[in-house]
Amino acid sequence: MTTRTWTCMCGSFEGEVKGDPSLAVWCHCGSCRQQTGAAMQLGIFPELKVLKGEDNLIAYKKNPEANITRFSCKTCGSFCYKNINGDTLVAPLGALKGEGETVKPTCHIFVADKGHQDIMFDTLPQHDAFP
């Protein structure tokens, strides 16, 4: 089984995912755009582990009822991972090291919410919401 790791920009966080993502996407939702200023490459992995820096993460929910918790580094602000509904673990594909670079998004999601500056040049399938 392939193991992939990534760190935040300052290196205080390190994460690990095992196996291939069940879904790898370009997410165009408003939250990803607000957090990054652009669409974000995300992968849903069966297993995600924080190897270091857990005590230096800040957890953010858009509102108390939100089902998504985003974890970012307190020091450098990098998005580290997110947890949806307590059991869906999402890693930033663009940050994965080494073989992580071989994980490519297979579709675009939340295209109905994309930014007006967001031009998609590829031929990947586009979904207005989560497929």
Which residues bind to Zn ion, rule: CB under 5 A?
8, 10, 12, 27, 29, 32, 73, 75-76
Is-contact 89 70, C-beta < 8 A?
A: no
CA 131 to CA 127: how far, in whole Å? 6
| Residues belonging to the chain | 131
**Shortest separation between residue 17's beta carbon and Zn ion, angstroms:** 18
Which lies closer to Zn ion via its Cβ, residue 12 or residue 41?
Answer: 12
The CA distance from 74 to 13, in Å, is: 10
The label of the residue with tokens 């985003």 reads 70
Indicate the residue among 32 and 95 with the shorter CB distance to Zn ion. 32
Min separation Cβ 78 and Zn ion, Å: 5
Give the shortest CB-75-to-Zn ion separation in angstroms. Answer: 4
Residue 99 CB, shortest distance to Zn ion, in Å, is: 22
Q: Report DSSP letters for 36-50, one per residue.
A: HSS-EEEEEESEEEE
Question: What single DSSP character describes residue 131?
Answer: -
Judged by beta carbon, residue 1 or residue 63, the one nearer Zn ion is: 63
Yes or no: say if 102 and 116 are a contact pair by the CB < 8 Å rule. Answer: no
